Every structure is written in structure tokens, then in C-alpha cells.
Amino acid sequence: MTEHVDGNALAGPLSDLFTFDPTTASARCAGCGDVSVLARAMVYGEPDTFVVRCAHCDDVLMTIVQTRDRFCIELRGMTWLKIPR
């Protein structure tokens, strides 16, 4: 993947971790304050690393790194994540 895709594509990788659909959860960008569902974020990915950027200001919302024995999720770029139930 050399070009970015939508946050929709995170549904699979994150389904290993969460029991909810993360792509319909909304996040508030710590950079610009925009609130959007994760499905609308921009995802830049190498096979095992995803950098998720705010579609509004391009700041990094979240980084996911998968290795053989662990997931590392860095969430500094979002103030909160609201999950529908």
C-alpha cells in the first residue's frame, strides 16, 4: 500500500483487539478538535504498521504496530474515543 485508504480498513486489524466495531467509534482530534468516526480517518499503512491521521488537519490520531507477539497502540493524538453500544 503506497497510497492511503480510509479508516474503514482498520476494521480487520483492530478486530483482533476489540469486540466493538472501531470504525463507527468517533474520535476527537487532539490537534484541531474535529470529531469524526474513525472510518473517516486516513490510514497510511505498511503491512504491520498503520498510521491513522485526522482527515481534517492531518495530525496523527493513532499509530498501530503489530509484531509477532504484541500489538502496540499509540493514542496520543486523540482526546477521546466514543464507542456506540
Ligand X SMILES: Cc1cc2nc3c(=O)[nH]c(=O)nc-3n(C[C@H](O)[C@H](O)[C@H](O)COP(=O)(O)OP(=O)(O)OC[C@H]3O[C@@H](n4cnc5c(N)ncnc54)[C@H](O)[C@@H]3O)c2cc1C
Task: Provide the sign of the torsion angle of the four alpha carbons 22, 24, 27, 29, taken in this order.
Answer: positive
CB of 44 to ligand X, least distance (A): 12
Between 13 and 31, CB nearer to another protein: 13
Cα–Cα dist 42/85, whole Å:
24
67 lies in the binding site for another protein (CB under 8 A): no
Residue 65 DSSP symbol: E
12 binds another protein (CB under 8 A): yes
Taking the C-alpha atoms of residue 16 and residue 34, their distance in angstroms, rounded to an integer, is: 27
Shortest spacing between CB 79 and ligand X, in angstroms: 27
**Judged by CB under 6 A, which stretch of 3-11, 16-24, 25-33, 55-63 contacts ligand X?**
3-11
